[in-house]
Amino acid sequence: MNINCQCGAGQEHLAQFFANGETDFRLCGVCGCVFRERFPSPSELDQIYRQAYGNENIGAVNTNQESGDHATLNYARHLLREVLHPGDRLLDYGAGTGALLHELRKFGVRGDGLEFSENARSYCLAERGFALRSNLRDVPDGYFNVISMIEVIEHLTDLPGTLKEVHRVLAPGGQIFVTTPCRTGLRARLERGFWREAQKKFHLFLFDWRSINFHLQRAGFLDVRRKVFSPLQKPGWKFWVYSRITQSIGLSGTLCVLARK
Ligand SMILES: [Zn+2]
Ligand 1 centroid to Cα of residue 7, in Å, is 4
Residue 5 lies in a domain: no
Q: Which residues are near ligand 1, the ion (C-beta closer than 5 Å)?
A: 5, 7, 9, 28, 30-31, 33
Q: If you measure from the C-alpha of residue 188 to the centroid of ligand 1, how many angstroms do you get, rounded to a whole number? A: 20
Nearest C-alpha neighbor of 181 from the set 194, 193, 192, 197: 197
Taking only the tens place, the pLDDT of each residue in 111-147 is: 999 999 888 899 999 999 999 999 999 999 999 999 9
Residue 6 lies in a domain: no
Per-residue pLDDT at 40 exceeds 90: no
Report the number of distinct structural domains present in the chain.
Answer: 1
Question: How many angstroms does the Cα of residue 84 sit away from the middle of ligand 1?
Answer: 32
DSSP strand pairing (254-260 vs 170-181): antiparallel
β partners of residue 206:
34
Output b/e per residue, 161-181; b: 16+ Cβ within 10 A: ebbebbbbbbbeebbbbbbbb
pLDDT over 60 (residue 63): no
Q: Is there a domain that residue 4 lies in?
A: no
**Does the residue 2 lie in any domain?**
no
Q: Check pLDDT > 90 for residue 245.
A: no
Q: What is the CATH number of the domain that holds 37?
A: 3.40.50.150
Cβ contacts of 195-201, under 8 Å, gap ≥ 24:
195/21, 197/154, 197/253, 198/18, 198/21, 198/22, 198/25, 199/21, 199/22, 200/64, 201/40, 201/48
5 CA to middle of ligand 1, Å? 5
At 74, is the pLDDT very low, low, confident or very high (cuts 50, 70, 90)?
confident
Task: Answer whether residue 50 shows pLDDT above 80.
Answer: no
CB 154, CB 181: distance < 8 Å:
yes
Rounded Cα–Cα distance for residues 73 and 194 (Å): 29
Q: Which domain holds residue 222?
A: 11-260
Cα–ligand 1 centroid distance for 18 (angstroms):
17
